[in-house]
Amino acid sequence: SMSTDLVIFLGVPCSAVSFFLTFIVTSFYTPKHATFVVTSSLVLSVASIILICLLLCTMFPFWYTILSSFTMVAVTVYYVMILWKFIPFAATNLAMSIKGISSNCGIYFIAIVFSTFPFIWTFFTLYVANGSLNSEKMIKPCEEDDPDCAVQYKSGGSEVILWGILLLSLISLYWTCTVMSNIIQVTVAGVMGTWCFNKTNASTCCSPAVTSSLHRSITFSFGSICFGSLFGAIVTAFRILTSIARNQDRNDDNNCSLEDGILVCIIECILSLIKDPIEYFNRWTYVYVGIYGHSYIKSGKGVIELFRARGWTLIATYDLVSYTLNFIAVQISICSGLAGVAIIALGYIYAPTPMAFCIGFIFGFFISSAMMNVIKKATNTLIVCYADSPAMLEE
């Protein structure tokens, strides 16, 4: 079929181009020019925001557009000024992280595999949830001229079951996706922790550090991974349900009330405030799980002590590294999209040029982002190792 041909003749080659470009750029160029790469990425990100704001002001020349654009640019510039002094530290961490990961490049393939599984699980969950919801509707048909049936449906009955199926499906989806992501984090942390303190066992593509860290992640540390991932999944599932309920009340003129709308908005706001700290806390907790093999609770105590000692440094370093790696990922994705256009030009397969570019860009961005996320997680691990042993980074 056409879709299969596009995946084979466009998706696979563009993914390969993205993989090799990402590996070459991160392994050979970035470590030697880390300070320049971090600085230029930060400056270009500010320039991009200024350009976007100028375009918005040109397209929508209203006072509130100009005011909001000016505020956005001012806040961005101020934040960049704060981050500027952390550039040397972030560049050093980035260079060392890339060096450690490049010495154990097999972790890239593990990350790509575990990053692919959530997409498969998403389609499976949608398929199962759709079948369950439709079967539940067929179990209890309701005639239009039967007031008793209508009253029974609105009072509880099938509607409660439908919401329950939706809630469980969302929890299953987000829990599984979060577990896959955290398995990568724990595995990367184990590899980088071994590389920092014992490079002998972490110096080849599929070194003992890679295999043993993956084994610990899916066996001994799997309980901690699932336990911590569950909190974020539950909060995310309830947040989506409250958003659906709010939209449903907005579209239902008969049942919509001011009190219900305010209550739903308050609940959604509370869940949003809970979700972000949980995700940020887990990001560092699983570093401790991967390095030391501690339980989730014990690792959480280590994170609290880490933030007391180096709170702002953690945030600034992570933001700088994220800016840099995201910028590189976008540039590589553009090259991957151009590779898709070149494949069309050579006549291997026919497709519209914009479609070829988009397919190449999407596949390239997925591969490049998966590899960049490994480096981000490695940088987090390096910061924790440095906090425990500062002499290690100085060497």
Q: Could you list the pLDDT tens digit for every one of the 395 residues in the chain?
A: 566 777 778 888 999 999 999 999 988 898 889 999 999 988 888 888 899 889 988 888 888 888 888 898 898 888 888 888 888 888 988 999 999 999 999 999 999 999 999 888 888 888 877 776 665 554 445 555 555 554 444 434 466 777 787 888 888 889 999 999 999 999 999 999 999 888 888 888 888 999 999 999 999 999 999 999 998 888 888 888 887 777 766 665 555 556 666 777 777 788 878 887 888 888 889 999 999 888 888 888 887 887 777 666 667 777 788 888 988 999 999 999 999 899 888 877 777 888 889 999 999 999 999 999 999 999 988 888 887 777 665 55
Rounded CA separation 222/82 (Å) = 38
Burial label for 254, CB within 10 Å (0-12, 13-18, 19+), is exposed
C-alpha distances out from residue 193 to 190, 214, 292, 308, 322, Å: 5, 13, 8, 22, 20
DSSP-derived 3-state class of residue 139: helix
Rounded CA separation 165/244 (Å) = 14
Give the type of residue at 80: V
* Residue 333 pLDDT: 93
Report yes or no: 339 and 14 within 8 Å, Cβ to Cβ. yes
HSE (side-chain half, CA atoms, 13 Å) at 292: 18
Buried-exposed string 88-119: b where 16+ CB fall within 10 A, e elsewhere: ebbbbbbbbbbbbbbbbbbbbebbbebbeebe
Residues in contact with 167: Cβ distance below 8 Å, sequence separation at least 6, in sequence order: 237, 238, 241
* Residue 2 pLDDT: 60
Based on its alpha-carbon atoms, the radius of gyration of the chain, rounded to whole angstroms, reads: 24
Rounded CA separation 92/53 (Å) = 32
* Residue 138 pLDDT: 46
Residue 252, number of CB atoms within 10 A of its CB: 9
* Residue 201 pLDDT: 86
Nearest alpha-carbon partner for 95 in 354, 344, 268, 324: 324
Give the type of residue at 1: S
Residue 83, number of CB atoms within 10 A of its CB: 18
* Residue 132 pLDDT: 67
* Residue 261 pLDDT: 67
DSSP-derived 3-state class of residue 392: helix
Rounded CA separation 51/49 (Å) = 5
Burial label for 294, CB within 10 Å (0-12, 13-18, 19+), is middle
